[in-house]
Structure 1
Amino acid sequence: MKRLLLAGGGQTHSLVLRDLALRKRAELDVVLITPTLRLPYSGMLPGWMAGHYALEEWLIDLAPLARAAGARVILGSVQALDLTNKQATGEHGEVLQFDVLSIATGATIDVDAIAGAREHALALRPLDTFIANWQRTVDHATSDREVFRITVIGGGAGGVECALAAAHRARSLQGAVQIQLITGGVSLLPGHGARARYLATRALRKSGVVLIDAIATEIDAHGIVLADGKYVSSEATLLVTGAAASEWPRRAGLAVDQRGFIEVNAYLQSTSHAFVFAAGDCVALIDSPRPKSGVYAVRAAAPLALNLLAAIKGQPLSRFKPHRRALYLLSTGSKCAIASWGSWAFCARGLWRLKNHIDRGYIAKLRNPTNPKKTTGAMRTLAVLAFIFIIVPLLVFAAGQFGLLMGRSPAESGLREGKLRPPSRTQNSVSSQAAQWPETEHAVAYATIEPFAFTQDSALAMNRLRDVLANWPGARIVENSPEYLNVQFETRWLRFVDDAEFLLDPAARMIHVRSAARLGRKDFGANRARIEAIRKRADLR
């Protein structure tokens, strides 16, 4: 009887076990060695930290999976490998023989990279330890009478999600809790687009998270020392830094990359030992490098299961072809999520509901390992994704092309009391005279913009501005007088229309401006950006 050893009971091997349970296979002795039988699903960790899930909702019991796959379970972890004799040694000294070995032990966090982190920080991995310590941290934050500062170290997706989750949880606690995020001296969400970084930064600031753009060099019982010598007080420090590799694969003689991750080829097969396979965060994909992510770990499970059975039977292997880009759904704490795909990103509450549906479906699938009916949930998810990312954009584009997004012309245009009209009541306009309207005092903060100052003759200044506007893409001058201009700006694809007005004040040697969107409560800075670009091109000074 052939022997298959699965080292690690994470997401990848849990899916492999389910695959083995569903397939008709030859006689095979399967052994799973895992530190715990309760597998936390990391995708739901931020939701649990925020208080949206009970602990039992996102824990997967590996025992039913193992029974369905006919696998024996040994609690522990691999400490050493003898690749010559094909045997592994567990932490309790047990010796496990194998013909084919699959490694999916995940990555670790290098707690020794920052002095004092091992003694004073709460590392995200292993998750079992993190779960227990986070619950204690919440209890301490609730009972502390002074300000309780929780500091997250790490500006990647995990760090951002943990900081936002902690901020949401803090709002439900009785004590005064402050959340801090130390980015490590790099931009937030490395590997994501500028739009995703902007949305994450906005969410963090809106949640009251203090951003510290610095590198942590030492952690003690009361705070963190930064590279510039500054000291940040912290009652609890969460370490959510990048992935690090375990040492035992290198010691065993497996081929590893410079960082210690197991090198595998396109078949998820070790480049040095053909009977060893590996997947997930513990590997380096030589043919198609990808970032460490649960998305790729899950996608590797099906081809890994196929190749393990093929290796056992001596059959040809199948290639693993990971997508160039992955869609990430990042929780922002308050049941909202950021969708990030390459340079494209947006944030909505509906995305959190979609993520919740996907996560719960994933948990249900692993809790029913012998139920092959996965098409209903999968097709529902695909249908929702197709609707959001294909149908909705096409409908919006079509609406724009038919002029349905142009909005109505303002019912009232021109001057009021010799001034430009007040700014909008919502954040979709700018005006250099916003402060002159007492009834819109609330709009001053977001609407105020500088007028166009000029040093030349006033008629020449208006003529210069008129020429710039006449040649501006999508602009149409609808009212033209020596001292007043009314201009409509139409975007190229969706044909959104913004209305702008320019009023000459020759005595003050300036041209006042007002620009507002016809549709939407927010313009995301579009009117301000356009007016500033016109100012630069006109160059009236």
Structure 2
Amino acid sequence: MKHLVLIGGGHSHAIALREFAKSPVPGIHITLISDVLQTPYSGMLPGYLAGFYTFEEAHIDLRPLANLAEAEFYCDRAIGLDLQQNQVLCTHHPPVPFDILSIDIGSTPATLNVPGAATYGIPAKPVPKLLEFWQQFREEVMQSPQQFRSVAIVGGGAGGVELTLSIQAHLNKILEQKYHKNIEYHLFHRSSHILSSHSRYAAQTLTRIMQDRGIHLHLNQTVSRLEKLPSERLKLDCKSGLQIECEQVFWVTQASAPDWLSASGLSTDDRGFIQVNDHLQSISHSTVFASGDIATLLNNPRPKAGVFAVRQGKPLFENLCRSLQDKPLISYHPQQQFLTLIGTGTGKAVASRGKFGLGPFRLIWTWKDWIDRRFMDQFNP
């Protein structure tokens, strides 16, 4: 009996567990370690924030999925690895031994270089923490709609733009028309235009949409400090000298990895992500695999995007099975370009792929909704 341990309930691991349920492999015992019972699907998260989906529709319940795969489930947080003894160190459980280990724990926004960001900012990941703060803020707005508030979003990539549009659309839905202007939205981005890694069409179109909806864009601005004032408001300082006061700051910047990965002895890149080969296998430890945001493909580096985690699910499953059975591994080759569908929070979406863009159209959102619901249907027991 060989022991396969999966750390994290990300998209790749959810797909791998589904494959193990469909095609059981004799002679192995599977353990899933995750600090959440229900893992969010990134494709539906903006729609959930905008009010289009329920919590259950936008989350994968790991418990029945683990049961179907006949996997043992530890609801716990991994905090380290002992790679000499092949053990996973957890917060509450004794060390968990493994023959093969796979890691899919996502990433968090980098805040270390900005004083006060880790203390007062609301990171976009891990998602459960984001949703906790979001629900609290939503309740406060509903209870006192007449109170003036200011919200800041740091990061003008697809995640930051879609988060801004989604929360504004949702709050506008639940507030009376006369209270819409009681909430200001400020988006900070260090580049000269938002969506720097997407098509010019998408960047220009969403810039126009945000301006039309009264969202303040602060471009070429690098946030250098975040502090709490005696009034309990938060103050953002930028390197340019710009200062903005607000009630909430959502942090959606470049991704980073937890320190315990590099401390364990795994080969990592300069941001702490696990370096893997074309087999999704650690380049330093052949018994360790990684996928999703937490992995960096050494030969084919790609942006940290959910589309790659989804595509890695089946190749990861195949190589975990092959590694457990001492068979040759297969190679995973990510696509050069990928389609991004960015929702506006109003039932429309903009499509971006390479240099091309389209929208915003309601049909694109309908298409995106169909894609996301079909993906989630795979995990319905």
TM-score (norm. length: structure 2): 0.94
Instruction: Say which of 256, 259, 279 aligns to 1:247.
Output: 259
CA distance in 2: counterparts of 1:323 and 1:98, whole angstroms: 32
Q: Give, in angstroms, the shift of residue 93 of structure 1.
A: 4.6
Alignment-mate amino acid for residue 244 of structure 1: S
Structure 2 match to 1:483? none
The answer to whether the Cα contact below 8 Å between 1:155 and 1:186 also exists between their aligned partners in 2 is no
- In structure 1, runs of 5+ residues without a counterpart are 369-541
Q: Please give the per-residue CA displacement for 1:258-289, whole angstroms capped at 9, x wherever unaligned.
A: 22110100000110111111111001101111
Superposed, 1:43-442 pairs within 5 Å as: 43-142=43-142, 143-172=144-173, 173-174=175-176, 175=179, 176-213=182-219, 214-221=221-228, 222=233, 223-347=235-359, 348-368=361-381
The answer to whether the Cα contact below 8 Å between 2:275 and 2:282 also exists between their aligned partners in 1 is yes
CA distance in 1: counterparts of 2:215 and 2:345, whole angstroms: 12
Aligned length: 368
Higher relative contact order structure (alpha carbons within 8 Å, sequence separation ≥ 6): 2
CA distance in 1: counterparts of 2:362 and 2:8, whole angstroms: 35
Q: Give, in angstroms, the shift of residue 297 of structure 1.
A: 0.7
CA distance in 2: counterparts of 1:96 and 1:198, whole angstroms: 50
Q: Give, in angstroms, the shift of residue 355 of structure 1.
A: 0.7
CA distance in 1: counterparts of 2:318 and 2:93, whole angstroms: 31
CA distance in 1: counterparts of 2:340 and 2:145, whole angstroms: 36
Alignment-mate amino acid for residue 8 of structure 1: G
Q: Please give the per-residue CA displacement for 1:336-391, whole angstroms capped at 9, x wherever unaligned.
A: 111110000011110100111111111111123xxxxxxxxxxxxxxxxxxxxxxx
Alignment-mate amino acid for residue 193 of structure 1: S
The answer to whether the Cα contact below 8 Å between 1:153 and 1:184 also exists between their aligned partners in 2 is no
CA distance in 1: counterparts of 2:215 and 2:3, whole angstroms: 51
Structure 2 match to 1:460? none
Q: Give, in angstroms, the shift of residue 186 of structure 1.
A: 4.5
Structure 1 match to 2:6? 6
Q: Give, in angstroms, the shift of residue 144 of structure 1.
A: 4.9
Q: Give, in angstroms, the shift of residue 110 of structure 1.
A: 2.5
Alignment-mate amino acid for residue 92 of structure 1: H
Q: Please give the per-residue CA displacement for 1:74-123, whole angstroms capped at 9, x wherever unaligned.
A: 11122111111111111125210000000111111223332112222111
SS in 1 for 2:379: helix
CA distance in 2: counterparts of 1:25 and 1:146, whole angstroms: 58
Alignment-mate amino acid for residue 320 of structure 2: L
Alignment-mate amino acid for residue 102 of structure 1: S
SS in 2 for 1:333: coil
Alignment-mate amino acid for residue 90 of structure 1: C
Q: Give, in angstroms, the shift of residue 224 of structure 1.
A: 1.1
CA distance in 2: counterparts of 1:81 and 1:322, whole angstroms: 28
The answer to whether the Cα contact below 8 Å between 1:168 and 1:207 also exists between their aligned partners in 2 is no
CA distance in 2: counterparts of 1:39 and 1:186, whole angstroms: 34
The answer to whether the Cα contact below 8 Å between 1:166 and 1:179 also exists between their aligned partners in 2 is no
The answer to whether the Cα contact below 8 Å between 2:30 and 2:71 also exists between their aligned partners in 1 is yes
SS in 2 for 1:202: helix
Going from structure 1 to structure 2, the CA distance change for 1:186 and 1:245 (only over 3 Å counts) comes to: farther
The answer to whether the Cα contact below 8 Å between 2:78 and 2:90 also exists between their aligned partners in 1 is yes
Q: Please give the per-residue CA displacement for 1:486-510, whole angstroms capped at 9, x wherever unaligned.
A: xxxxxxxxxxxxxxxxxxxxxxxxx
Alignment-mate amino acid for residue 367 of structure 2: L
CA distance in 1: counterparts of 2:55 and 2:291, whole angstroms: 27
Q: Give, in angstroms, the shift of residue 170 of structure 1.
A: 2.8
CA distance in 1: counterparts of 2:263 and 2:310, whole angstroms: 27
Structure 2 match to 1:26? 26
RMSD: 1.3
TM-score (norm. length: structure 1): 0.66
The farther-off stretch of 311-320 and 56-65 is 56-65
CA distance in 2: counterparts of 1:352 and 1:206, whole angstroms: 20
- In structure 2, runs of 5+ residues without a counterpart are none
